[in-house]
């Protein structure tokens, strides 16, 4: 049969472990959101690449249509130029032809640039598709691992809860109300560590009496003073002390400061 302090120490460990398990379970949805954001970025990049190619092709067709219109207009202007004999009108017509030729050259350069961009983007499609496929595969793998991990954590929770329930039966009936009160008030932190008579929670020194009580296991419930017993155990000079000690020290310190 476990000693009282051994049982309390195990309860303390199990409650902290259950707390950590729950934190890991709660962290799962946040991690999932991060993975979903990464997948969405990859999906958007994939979509943007194909949308860009589509827009470039539309631009190419538009420019080619405008080029044909300019070429037709240039032919008309050159025909009109042949029938002009007035110098002033000829100068104006030549200026108009020059502007049309400049627009024609601009459209030709734009079409060539667009064709080069389309070719480049088209050549990149296999890489883009692979990146998108890899992102989808990675997300599916994450979902699978996350589901397995969640199931494992929940199984660990059930096992640990069962162990905690069993271990708590080892706590003497005379001490159980005090234990329940501490756990209800402080949860997994119902006990704090003490080193060399110094509480690691409030950094106050323990009295000789409290330090002595914390170092002696009490296996006989009838011999235990519930109000005086301090839930603790010594492990290489590290003592797990009930939060009741911490509360008592804080109250004493508060009274001293008020006085």
Mean pLDDT by 10 residues, the chain (259 residues): 75 93 96 96 97 97 95 90 84 90 94 96 97 97 96 96 93 86 84 72 72 53 34 34 44 59
* Topology, domain 4-166: Helix Hairpins (1.10.287)
pLDDT (0 to 100) of residue 40: 97
pLDDT (0 to 100) of residue 86: 84
Domain with CATH 1.10.287.1490 in the chain: 4-166
List Cβ neighbours of 44 (8 Å cut-off, separation of 6 or more): none
pTM check: above 0.85? no
DSSP assignment string, 71-127: HHHHHHHHHHHHT---HHHHHHHHHHHHHHHHHHHHHHHHHHHHHHHHHHHHHTHHH
């Amino acid at each position: 049969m476990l000693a009282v302090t051994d049982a309390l120490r195990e309860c303390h460990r199990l409650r902290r472990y259950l707390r950590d398990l729950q934190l890991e379970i709660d962290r799962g949805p946040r991690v999932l959101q991060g993975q979903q954001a990464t997948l969405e970025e990859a999906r958007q990049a994939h979509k943007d690449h194909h949308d860009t190619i589509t827009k470039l092709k539309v631009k190419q067709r538009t420019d080619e249509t405008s080029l044909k219109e300019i070429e037709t207009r240039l032919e008309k202007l050159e025909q009109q130029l042949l029938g002009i004999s007035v110098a002033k009108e000829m100068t104006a017509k030549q200026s108009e032809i020059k502007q049309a030729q400049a627009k024609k050259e601009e459209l030709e350069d734009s079409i060539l640039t667009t064709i080069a961009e389309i070719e480049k983007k088209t050549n990149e499609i296999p890489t883009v598709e692979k990146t998108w496929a890899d992102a989808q595969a990675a997300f599916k793998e994450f979902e699978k691992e996350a589901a397995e991990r969640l199931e494992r954590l929940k199984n660990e929770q059930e096992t640990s809860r069962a162990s905690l329930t069993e271990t708590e039966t080892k706590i003497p009936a005379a001490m159980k109300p005090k234990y329940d009160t501490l756990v209800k008030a402080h949860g997994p932190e119902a006990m704090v560590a003490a080193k060399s008579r110094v509480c690691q929670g409030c950094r106050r020194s323990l009295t000789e009496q409290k330090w002595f009580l914390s170092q002696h296991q009490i296996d006989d419930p009838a011999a235990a003073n519930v109000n005086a017993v301090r839930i603790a155990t010594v492990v290489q000079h590290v003592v797990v002390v009930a939060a009741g000690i911490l509360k008592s020290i804080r109250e004493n310190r508060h009274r001293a400061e008020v006085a």
